[in-house]
Amino acid sequence: MAKPIAPAFGLELGELVEVTELGLRLIVGSDWALPRVVSWAHATEMTDPRPHLRGAELVCTVGSALLDASSCARLVEAVHATGSAGICLGIGEVHTQIPRALIKECRRLSVPLIEMAHGVPFLAINDVLADARVRAQTGSSQRNAELVGRLLAALRENAPMEDILSVCTAALGGSLTFEPVDPATELLPAALGAVVDDAPGAVSISTAEGNLLIWQGQSPAPDADLLGQIGRILEIARHEKADRDIQNRQRIGQLFALVSDGLADSAALMPELQRAGLVGKSVTISAWPAETAQLLAAHLPGTLIADAPEATFVVTTSPQTVYDTARDLGLVSGHGSPVDVSQIARGIGEARATLRLARRHGKVAGPESLTSLTGLLEQQPPVRLVPFIDQLIRPLLEQDARRGSQLLATLRTFIEHQGSLQATAEAQYLHVNTVRHRLGRIAVIVGRNPLEDNDRASLAIALWAYDRSRRYAP
């Protein structure tokens, strides 16, 4: 017989604000906001946490990413779109007062906004909710209440799902199995409930997110309500672990960027390399498009992955893994030469450069692609090539703008045709003498003669740097 399970317990926003020790103050919202139910406090510093929200959470942040109006708008839109209970901003760590842009966006979309006093941890909200959950279970047996209390305590301590399942198994007897749904192949149920399927010696429920929780053992079997609460706690533990994994990959990504830019020593990455068992091994560092870290982590479990703003870096012990993963996922990628961990800065730099080359050609690029002028230039920090643009390209742009001339276009065609006057003239429908005259004007303006090999190489580098600066301009 099918039996519905009640949605997760929660407190109204107004009830939370009245808890003195939480130090909460309602900034945006009045009568319309107070009845909103808060089921959990979800701490994040992401501006778009939509993949990790299920609705009814109070999204808590210290606002480290809320530094302009657009980032405030992204967060408020994400909270509004997921039906979350509101936003709670902790004061004192980053902001001394709530940003005006955040207040404006919350008012525009009618998203409750709460200020939390400095020094009060976000977990205190979950403690209040957890205590309320325990007190609300007056209709359950004492054993069930104690079990849920222990599970909530384990959840607050970031216990892994395996430990939570072990606690449940010891308390309920039999065995308990949690089978997550594959969102790529199955649709999530629309209802915030679960359905119990009774079979001899087994009880299984489908949770609100579509995951399957199965108990098997001897009677008495646990009731479906209790399994529903356990399933919800397991789902929260799963999502919080995913959030911690994301934050850890982003932290490692920041370290990768600092090491690559020479702002931190490669020794800063040694603890991460040791945890991944990579010390003493030759490693291959590959770079992938930004925001692919989660996809790569699912495909390469246990691999060291760094989620940097410009790219996602993956550390493996074999270049073949890069090619296999690129083929399986249909992604472009670049990787450098195998290096010792002491040379990781070199590996990161090569991976960055080969990814840019891979994007141009639409395939995996390896270290062999760096043995060309383009490959060499890709490895240079953009700031190192700025003088080429300022001294050799910008004066020609200014001349073309003032006189309506085509000096830069003629130079580009001349270089593309390996310094052939006749080929340049034919490509631009000009007389050879006109081409020669324009090249002479370029020599006068920038002090480099395109007809001389060394000067033409300098001008080619300047054009390449100018094109790259336009390609990656914000």
Q: 65-82: per-residue pLDDT in tens? A: 998 999 999 999 999 999
Question: What is the C-alpha to C-alpha distance for residues 336 and 354, in angstroms, rounded to an integer?
Answer: 7
How does DSSP classify residue 365?
B
pLDDT at residue 26, rounded to an integer: 95
For the ranges 51-60, 96-105, 442-451, the one whose mean pLDDT is highest: 96-105
Q: Computed from CA positions of residues 140, 142, 144, 145, in that sequence, does the dihedral angle turn out positive or negative?
A: positive
Average pLDDT of the chain, as a whole number: 85
CA dihedral 149, 155, 160, 165 (to 10 degrees): 30
Q: Which two tokens stand for residue 20?
A: 């003195």
Sheet holding 57-61, edge to edge: 24-28, 113-116, 86-90, 57-61, 40-43
pLDDT at residue 379, rounded to an integer: 61
pLDDT (average), residues 145-171: 87
Q: Computed from CA positions of residues 349, 351, 355, 357, in that sequence, does the dihedral angle turn out positive or negative?
A: positive
Is residue 98 over pLDDT 90? yes
pLDDT at residue 28, rounded to an integer: 95
Higher pLDDT, 249 or 132: 249
Question: What is the C-alpha to C-alpha distance for residues 190 and 353, in angstroms, rounded to an integer?
Answer: 46
pLDDT at residue 104, rounded to an integer: 96
Q: Computed from CA positions of residues 375, 273, 257, 387, in that sequence, does the dihedral angle turn out positive or negative?
A: negative
pLDDT at residue 74, rounded to an integer: 95
pLDDT at residue 219, rounded to an integer: 65
Is residue 9 over pLDDT 70? no
CB 201 within 8 A of CB 218: yes
**If residue 383 lies in a helix (H) or strand (E), which one and from where to where?**
helix 382-388
Is residue 189 over pLDDT 70? no
Question: What is the C-alpha to C-alpha distance for residues 72 and 47, in angstroms, rounded to an integer?
Answer: 7
pLDDT at residue 136, rounded to an integer: 63
Q: Computed from CA positions of residues 65, 69, 71, 74, in that sequence, does the dihedral angle turn out positive or negative?
A: positive
pLDDT, tens digit, 9 for 90 and up, residues 372-400: 666 666 666 677 778 888 888 899 999 88
Is residue 54 over pLDDT 90? no
Half-sphere CA count of 170, side-chain side, radius 13 A? 10
**What are the helix and strand counts (H, E) for the chain?**
18, 16
Does the pTM exceed 0.85? no
Question: What is the C-alpha to C-alpha distance for residues 175 and 313, in angstroms, rounded to an integer?
Answer: 40
CB 303 within 8 A of CB 315: yes
Instruction: Give the residue among 61, 219, 31, 212 at the shortest CA–CA distance from 125.
Output: 61
Residue carrying structure tokens 């646990």: 222
Q: Which long-range contacts (CB under 8 A, 24 or more apart) does 455-463 make?
A: 456/414, 456/415, 456/419, 458/388, 458/392, 459/392, 459/411, 459/415, 460/373, 460/415, 461/373, 461/377, 461/385, 461/388, 462/385, 462/388, 462/389, 462/391, 462/392, 462/393, 463/393, 463/411, 463/412, 463/415
pLDDT at residue 415, rounded to an integer: 87
pLDDT (average), residues 255-263: 85
pLDDT (average), residues 14-33: 92
Question: Which ranges of 40-176 does DSSP label H, i.e. alpha helix?
Answer: 69-82, 100-109, 123-136, 142-156, 161-172
pLDDT, tens digit, 9 for 90 and up, residues 336-353: 889 988 888 889 988 988
CB 88 within 8 A of CB 41: yes
pLDDT at residue 462, rounded to an integer: 86
Confidence band, pLDDT 50/70/90 cuts, at residue 217? confident
Confidence band, pLDDT 50/70/90 cuts, at residue 197? very low
Please compute Rg for the chain using Cα positions. 30
pLDDT at residue 155, rounded to an integer: 87
pLDDT at residue 97, rounded to an integer: 93
Question: What is the C-alpha to C-alpha distance for residues 163 and 145, in angstroms, rounded to an integer?
Answer: 18
pLDDT, tens digit, 9 for 90 and up, residues 236-258: 888 888 888 999 999 999 999 88
The least confident of 134-138, 275-279, 346-350 is: 134-138
Is residue 6 over pLDDT 80? no
pLDDT (average), residues 308-326: 90
pLDDT, tens digit, 9 for 90 and up, residues 416-452: 888 899 999 899 898 999 989 999 999 899 898 999 8
Question: What is the C-alpha to C-alpha distance for residues 365 and 287, in angstroms, rounded to an integer?
Answer: 10
Higher pLDDT, 263 or 27: 27
Q: Residue 89, SS3?
A: strand
Question: What is the C-alpha to C-alpha distance for residues 432 and 358, in angstroms, rounded to an integer?
Answer: 37
Instruction: Give the residue among 255, 322, 315, 321 at the shortest CA–CA distance from 285.
Output: 315
